[in-house]
């Protein structure tokens, strides 16, 4: 009778494991996680994050296996990452600031034009930003494992060249964040929302004249032939891109495995920020030399003019998002001398 009970128990456990494939899987001390990404299988960011997963597996002697799931592999959208990490459908997820600002509004601050402008700015204020964003994440039972930044966002276009604030009047530009859309509105342009796949066709058909992006992404997405010029004041950093983790899954790891994971995560923030920044410089040079794209760096007077236009919006956004947003924006402006 005891033998029959044991067999029944084993069968039940096996059925439960098979019926819940997205959750943490363990075999003895071994743990297997899913890591949701919104970037494609061959995108440079996916390659970096796959490298992180491989490094963790190696350092833990296969005790923690993180299975990277690039775009299209799982039935989720980039805007759902907080939810799917929260409910443990996946244990790790790539949460780009603009995509997760619905659940974590303060996490989207990096998309505020001309407040933070590059990765160095993010690194300088990261302790402040993390303090406030974690309050939002805690409500969902998730936390930040590590972060990285894409290169600064700028405008890549065709047709009439943008050199000054006045050149924006009447232009149609694809924005990747509502705050970028507000900047375009204030500069008397029209913002257009497009999926990544729609961008080349929209440019060819004149639906848009430019896009907010980075040289790193333009070359990575094979879009270089679509553009004639690039306006490069560094509008806002491409991040933080929060790598968020389910807190319970993290706590269930052995102390040793957890420490190894956190150490690798800290190192990957430094590695990705340094290397992606360097790759952006290289990509800009490639666009100039190989694709004959004119690179336009506005002078400080022009940058100050647009920053002045945006300051009123920084304050309005903060008030609209509550007292903590007001505190956060105020602390960041003081830290950056703005």
Task: Kindly report, residue by residue over 272-286, the tens digit of the pLDDT.
Answer: 999 999 999 999 999
Of these ranges, 18-27, 111-120, 190-199, the one predicted with the greatest mean pLDDT is: 111-120
Let me know how long the chain is.
338
- Tens of pLDDT along 211-262? 999 999 899 888 999 999 999 999 999 999 999 999 999 999 999 999 999 9
The pLDDT, as a whole number, for residue 306 is 96
| Domain CATH for 224 | 3.40.190.170
* Dist. CA 201–CA 217, nearest whole Å: 17
Neighbours of 3 (CB within 10 A): 7
Q: Which long-range contacts (CB under 8 A, 24 or more apart) does 318-322 make?
A: 321/105, 321/106
User: Cβ atoms within 10 A of the Cβ of 66, count?
Assistant: 22
296 within domain boundaries: yes
User: Domain residues for 265?
Assistant: 20-336
Calculate mean pLDDT across residues 108-129.
96
- The answer as to whether 10 is a domain residue is no
What pLDDT sits at residue 220? 81
Over range 127-139, report the average pLDDT. Answer: 96
- Classify residue 50: in a domain, yes or no: yes
Q: What pLDDT, on a 0 to 100 scale, did the predictor assign at position 12? A: 43
At residue 17 the predicted structure's pLDDT band, cuts being 50, 70 and 90, is very low
Q: What is the pLDDT of residue 9?
A: 43
- Could you tell me if residue 311 is inside a domain? yes
pTM value is 0.86
Q: Which residues contact 76 (CB under 8 A, 6 or more apart)?
A: 36, 84, 89, 90
> Is residue 198 very low, low, confident or very high in pLDDT (cuts 50, 70, 90)?
confident
SS3 of residue 73 by DSSP: coil
Q: Is residue 9 a part of any domain in this protein?
A: no
The whole-angstrom separation of Cα 31 and Cα 51 is 18
Q: 251 Cβ partners below 8 Å, 6+ apart?
A: 258
**What 8-state DSSP symbol labels residue 28?**
T
2 is a domain residue: no
- pLDDT at 28 > cutoff 50: no
Q: What is the chain's mean pLDDT, rounded?
A: 91
The CA angle 242-245-249, to the nearest 5 degrees, is: 175
- How would you class 40 by CB atoms within 10 Å of its CB: exposed for 0-12, middle for 13-18, buried for 19 or more? middle
Q: Nearest-CA neighbor of 235 among 134, 148, 111?
A: 111
Would you say residue 197 lies in a domain?
yes
197, pLDDT greater than 80: no
Residue 223 to residue 204: CA distance in whole angstroms = 12
Structurally, the chain folds into a number of domains equal to 1
Answer whether residue 41 is part of any domain. yes
Print the SS3 string covering 295-326. EECCCHHHHHHHHHHHHHHHHHHHHHCCHHHH
- In DSSP terms, which residues pair with 25 in a beta bridge? 32
Closest to 223 measured CA to CA, from 201, 239, 241: 201
Tell me the mean pLDDT in the region 330-337: 97
Query: Which residues on adjacent β-strands are paired with residue 154?
Result: 213
């Amino acid at each position: 009778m005891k033998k029959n009970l044991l067999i029944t128990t084993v069968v039940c456990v096996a059925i439960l494991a098979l019926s819940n494939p997205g959750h943490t899987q363990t075999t003895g001390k071994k743990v297997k996680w899913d890591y949701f990404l919104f970037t494609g299988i061959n995108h440079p960011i996916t390659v970096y994050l796959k490298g992180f997963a491989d490094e963790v597996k190696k350092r833990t002697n296969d005790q923690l296996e993180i299975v990277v799931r690039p775009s299209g592999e799982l039935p989720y959208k980039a805007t759902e990452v907080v939810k799917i990490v929260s409910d443990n459908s996946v244990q790790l997820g790539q949460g780009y600031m603009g995509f997760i600002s619905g659940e974590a509004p303060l996490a989207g601050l990096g998309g505020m034009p001309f407040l933070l402008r590059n990765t160095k700015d993010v690194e300088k204020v990261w302790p402040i930003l993390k303090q406030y964003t974690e309050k939002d994440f805690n409500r969902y039972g998730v936390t930040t494992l590590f972060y990285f930044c894409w290169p600064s966002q700028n405008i890549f276009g065709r047709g009439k060249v943008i050199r000054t604030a006045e050149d924006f009047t009447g232009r149609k530009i694809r924005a990747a964040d509502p705050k970028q859309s507000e900047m375009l509105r204030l500069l008397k342009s029209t913002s257009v929302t497009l999926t990544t796949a729609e961008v080349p066709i929209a440019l060819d058909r004149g639906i848009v004249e430019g896009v907010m992006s980075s040289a790193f992404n333009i070359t990575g997405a094979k879009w270089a032939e679509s553009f004639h010029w690039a306006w490069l004041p560094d509008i806002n950093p491409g991040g933080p891109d929060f790598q968020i983790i389910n807190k319970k899954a993290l706590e269930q790891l052995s102390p040793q495995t957890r420490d190894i994971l956190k150490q690798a995560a800290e190192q990957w923030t430094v590695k990705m920020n340094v290397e992606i920044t360097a790759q952006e410089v290289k990509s800009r040079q490639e666009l100039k030399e190989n694709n004959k794209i004119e690179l336009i760096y506005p002078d400080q007077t022009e940058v100050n003019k647009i920053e002045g236009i945006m300051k009123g919006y920084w304050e309005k956004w903060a008030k609209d998002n509550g007292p903590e947003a007001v505190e956060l924006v105020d602390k960041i402006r003081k830290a950056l001398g703005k």
